[in-house]
Structure 1
């Protein structure tokens, strides 16, 4: 089971007022390749995002695959595990932002090639690509080492990729 706890700022007081968010991430294999989102910086992230109020995790993941990858009718399978991240909150009434990401094996789907990206995703030029776990790990580690274009998800996604490589 994948599991990770990441505190992005060692000075964070985890007992301070906290905004919590639940997210889902999809792990879809095609042979030895994974469907990941490549950014303009050269790193990779898993398709997924926040679960909206009243939305089930499978429904949220289906919506995210459609929005980010242009892939509909994705089957959400077994849960792999979760990660928990603690970051400094942007909202003034909170000090801590806690995000729990649940990872699920996914399969199938119909590719209609029409992304519906949020503005920050468009700025990052997120593009669905089939790559091996090793290729994605190399790319993420290179971006992390460069210190340029490092997004907050990079530590989390690199750790999950590392755990997948060890399976």
Structure 2
């Protein structure tokens, strides 16, 4: 898959310490000028739907499962690869020092009407909800959160970058 960007958190040296890799898949679903995103109240940000690929799943299977679970999406079809975003972050548990996250992004088509989401407990507690949003409004919202909020999650940098790349490469005006 085409590389988009590799981000290394400034507090780490990827050549020192133990690390593990987490494979994730992220969906890009566009309808007219709207993109399907997850809004997370806890962090006041927008992100692409998706998440970790389980053992025994292909990346594509993991993406379809995550998209169904998080958004209730139906009739999911993977259209084409968009790109790979990699990041190295500090890990907060005792077993490793660094997490290497590989986010495989795919353009998908889905039905506009969403079914019932099946969010995990922590996703519910964080106030996650699927929304069709104007991509430029989502970018502006995330940029305001980056500039003014102290409660932001580490993923907002990745998500804002991806949204900007999607808008540019898919020529969403």
Query: TM-score if structure 1 supplies the norm length?
Result: 0.92
* Whole-angstrom distance in 1 between the partners of 2:150 and 2:14: 28
Give the unaligned 5+ runs of structure 2. Answer: none
* Whole-angstrom distance in 1 between the partners of 2:47 and 2:8: 19
Q: Summarize the Cα distance change of 1:110–1:28 in structure 2 as closer, same or farther, 3 Å threshold.
A: closer
Matching of residues 1-167 of structure 1 within 5 Å = 3-8=4-9, 10-15=10-15, 16-40=17-41, 41-109=43-111, 111=113, 113-167=115-169
Number of residues paired by the alignment?
166
Q: Is the 8 A contact 1:3 1:82 kept in 2?
A: yes
Aligned alpha-carbon RMSD (Å): 1.6
Query: TM-score if structure 2 supplies the norm length?
Result: 0.89
Between structures 1 and 2, the one with greater strand share: 1
* Whole-angstrom distance in 1 between the partners of 2:134 and 2:113: 19
Give the unaligned 5+ runs of structure 1. Answer: none
